[in-house]
Amino acid sequence: MFEASTIFALSSAPGRAGVAVVRMSGTAVRTALEKMVAPVPKPRAAAFRTIRNPSTGEAIDRALVLWFAAPHSETGEDVVEFQVHGSRAVVAALLDALGRLEGCRLAQPGEFARRGFENGKMDLAEVEGLADLVEAETDAQRRQALGQSAGTLSKIYEGWRARLIEIAALVEAAIDFSDETDVSSSSFNEARKRAGTLSTEIAAHLDDGHRGEIVREGFRVALLGAPNAGKSSLLNALARRDAAIVSAEAGTTRDVIEVRLDLAGLPVVVADTAGIREAASEIEREGIRRSLVAARDANLTLWLSETGDSNVPEGISRETSLAIRSKADLSRESTDEMLAVSAVTGEGLDRLVAEIAARAAAIIGEATGPALTRARYRQSLEAAQRAIRAFLEGAPDAIELRAEDVRRAAHEIGRITGRVDVEDVLDQVFSRFCIGK
C-alpha cells in the first residue's frame, strides 16, 4: 500500500484537549526515542520524560511515553506513544520534530491498522470490527463492534473454512482412489454429508433478519404523510433540535432529511420526507418519489395525519407501518386506539419513542450469537452457499468439478477474514479509518 518506513500521526481527536496521543510505528522508533526522550523507557512501562526536538535540543513538552517493542505491539512493529499536553502548539511542534527524523513520515488513513493486519495481529473481520468500534454511537453498536474486533465472527468463519478444507481433502482422496470404488465412494459420501451440515449452519447464519447490519447502520424509520401533517415538527421533537425547516406553507420539505438518534441504546435513523399529494411541479414529484422509496426501504413507517387517517400509500407494508394522529394539541377527538402525539406539548412522544424502540428491539432481537454485520460478508457467504449447493447437487461422476465447487466455497469465506488474496477489498477497508489508527 505504501513504502516501508516509520509512520507517525496524531491518534487522538484534533483540537485543544487535556491530553493528546501521538503514535509512531516502524524501525526508526528506537532511534527517535534515543534522540528525543533519553533515557529510552523500558518496553511496556510508562515513563515520564522531557521530549526534545532532535535538531535543536529544545524541550517540546514533559509527557508520558510508552514503548512497545516488536513484535508485541498492535502493528507488530516497534511502536511508541507520546501522551503530551493537548495544545495545538505542543502537537504541532512534536509532529514537526518527528517529520524531520530520517525515514519518518505522516501516516495515511488506516495505515497503523493495515500494518497490524499485514503482520498477523488482526484479520480483516477484526479490523472492520475495530473500525465500527471507533464509529459506535450507541451501546448496541459498541457491544457488537467490540465482539467482532475480539474475533467472535472470525472464529466462526475460520472454523467453516477449516471444515471446507477437510471436505476438500476427502474429495481429493476420492479422486486419488478412484480405481478403488469402495474407498472413493466412501470418501465422497462423507464429504457430502459434512457439506450438508455446514450448508445448514451457513443458511441459519444468513437468515438472521439482517439484525447485525441494522445494529451497525441503524433501524430506519420514515415519517410519511400529507403536506403539513407535522412530520418535520415531529422530527425536530425527536431530535431535540431544529433539524428540519418547519413552515405552514405546504411542500416545504422537498428532499429526505435524516437524523441519527440513540433510543434505549439502539441506533435509529429517522427520515423526514416530502408530503404525499398530487404535485404539480417536477421538483415536488421527485421529492414525493424519494419519500416513497425511503418508506419502502424503512424498517418502520410512521404515517402521520391530523384526522386519524390510517390509509398508508399503496406499496407501503401495513405490517411495518404505524398510524399516528399528529398535532394532538389542536384536537381532542379520540380515534380509537391510534397513538396521538404533539410536537408542541410533547404529548405522546414518550409512548412513540417506546414503540419505536420496542419494534427495533423486536427486529434486532436478543443477541444469541455473533451477527453478520456487513453486506460484503453476506455476499461472500451467499457465494459460498451457492458453491456448496453445486457440490451437493452436482453430478458425482464429474468429481473434479465437485472439488472445484469446494475450493470456491473456501475461497469465498476466506475473503471475509483476508485469508486469501483480497487486494481489491483492502484499500476500501483501511481508507475508512482516521489517520492515526
Q: Write out the three cell numbers for 425.
A: 477489498
Please answer whether residues 235 and 272 qualify as being in contact, where contact means their C-beta atoms are separated by less than 8 angstroms. Answer: yes
Quote the CA–CA distance of 282 and 272 in Å, as a whole number: 19
- pLDDT higher than threshold 90 for residue 412: yes
What's the pLDDT band for 69 if we cut at 50, 70, 90? very high
Q: What's the confidence (pLDDT) of residue 71?
A: 95
- pLDDT higher than threshold 90 for residue 173: no
Q: What's the confidence (pLDDT) of residue 2?
A: 47
Query: For the chain, which residues make up each domain, given as ranges?
Result: 6-121, 126-208+372-430, 221-363
CA distance between the termini of the chain: 15
pLDDT in tens, 297-341: 889 998 888 877 777 777 777 888 888 888 887 776 655 567 888
- pLDDT higher than threshold 90 for residue 203: yes
pTM of the predicted model as reported, rounded to 2 decimal places: 0.81
pLDDT in tens, 341-373: 888 888 888 999 999 989 888 888 766 678 899
Q: Write out the three cell numbers for 411.
A: 475461497
In degrees rounded to 5, what are phi and psi of residue 238? -70, -40
pLDDT in tens, 86-95: 999 999 999 9
Taking all residues of the chain, what is their mean pLDDT, rounded to a whole number? 86
Quote the CA–CA distance of 401 and 403 in Å, as a whole number: 5
What does CATH list as the number for 221-363? 3.40.50.300
CATH class, 126-208+372-430 region: mainly alpha
For 407-434, give the secondary structure using H, E and C: HHHHHHHHHHHCCCCCHHHHHHHHCCCC
CATH number 3.30.1360.120 given to 6-121: yes
Q: Is the dihedral of CA 257, 262, 264, 268 positive or negative?
A: positive
